[in-house]
Structure 1
Amino acid sequence: MKRLFLFALTVLIFSGLTTTNSQSKGFGPDEMKTYFMVMLTKSDSHDMKSEASKNLQKEHISYITAFYETGELVMAGPVLANKDFSEILFFDVETRMDAEKILNADPAVSSGSFTYRILTWLGPKAIKTNFSKEK
């Protein structure tokens, strides 16, 4: 019983420290927001060696990059050395349906080269959304 009490007390102390620490860094409940995290997966028909696939990849990058300009895409990038996922994207849009509309119009998705999975992610409001070509 004494061990259980000490364990519970330790958990309580450390959970309080974690909460205080995260809130002092700006990640309290009022500093969080919902994003839609997309994991793109290459389909079996995806072949980066063909000229058509290389052009499709360029179209995909160009299409996705346009959403940085509007602030609807806050982060994106390739997943390295992973057979399941090839890219992860974070959208700052109102609804899941808005993210689906963007994805379904992506040339790489509409051609069947990529499939996607959308997850709802709670992250900090402070994520930088202006990725213009500033240095």
Structure 2
Amino acid sequence: MKTKTILALLFFTAIFTFAQKTTEKPKFNQELAVKLGADQYGMKAYTIVMLTTGSAKIGDKAKMGELMKGHLANIGKLADEGKIVVAGPFLEKNKEDYRGMFIFNTKSKEEAEQWVKTDPAVQAGVFNYEIFPWYGSAALPMYLERHKEISKENP
């Protein structure tokens, strides 16, 4: 009887400890919050750019390949400069004709537009774009740092 009671007590203690650890709020890091530009909620303003299909019809596969290579290189450059924090294509067609998106590390729509216009595929008319203000976690730029650790290849 004592053994069952002790085992039950140990079991419930372990469950309580696990539940407490998973529900405890992490310690606030003021230095990191300031570095990332976080507000009191750990959030900040960004700008989302939605890429849509442009009006250019490029039939030359080599030319389109060069434009896409330039598109990806430009994304990498903007990411290295801290201007872009998320980029990627949509995997399915959609009624809005969105092809991909960027989340830019700026609240200025004008600045985001300047940056998106550096994309060779945008310049060539392969992509058009729409710009939206957005509010998200200030920790979002840290995602790219981690991505480099898990990607074996970069396009």
TM-score, normalising length from structure 2? 0.63
Give secondary structure in 2 for the equivalent of 1:37.
strand
Structure 2 residue 54 is the aligned partner of structure 1 residue 43: yes
- Matched with 2:112 is 99
- Matched with 1:68 is 79
- Matched with 1:134 is 149
Paired letter, 1:116: Y
What CA distance in whole angstroms lies between the structure 2 residues aligned with 1:37 and 1:94?
9
Indicate conservation of the 8 Å contact 1:40/1:115, yes or no.
yes
Out of 78, 99, 102, the position equivalent to 1:86 is 99
What CA distance in whole angstroms lies between the structure 2 residues aligned with 1:48 and 1:70?
33
Structure 2 residue 130 is the aligned partner of structure 1 residue 117: yes
What CA distance in whole angstroms lies between the structure 1 residues aligned with 2:142 and 2:57?
30
Give secondary structure in 2 for the equivalent of 1:62.
helix
What CA distance in whole angstroms lies between the structure 1 residues aligned with 2:72 and 2:86?
13
- Whose Rg is larger? 2
Indicate conservation of the 8 Å contact 1:35/1:123, yes or no.
yes
- Matched with 2:6 is none
Give secondary structure in 2 for the equivalent of 1:45.
coil
Q: CA deviation at 1:59?
A: 0.4
Q: How many residues in Structure 1 have an aligned counterpart in Structure 2?
A: 112
Q: CA deviation at 1:65?
A: 1.1
Indicate conservation of the 8 Å contact 2:47/2:132, yes or no.
yes
- Tell me the percent identity: 30
Which runs of 5 or more structure 1 residues have no equivalent in the other structure?
1-23
- Matched with 1:54 is 65
What CA distance in whole angstroms lies between the structure 1 residues aligned with 2:49 and 2:59?
21
Give secondary structure in 1 for the equivalent of 2:63.
helix
For residues 94 and 134 of structure 1, do their structure 2 counterparts lie closer, same or farther at Cα, with a shift above 3 Å needed? same
Structure 2 residue 42 is the aligned partner of structure 1 residue 31: yes
Give secondary structure in 2 for the equivalent of 1:117.
strand
Q: CA deviation at 1:32?
A: 1.4
RMSD: 2.6
Give secondary structure in 2 for the equivalent of 1:53.
helix
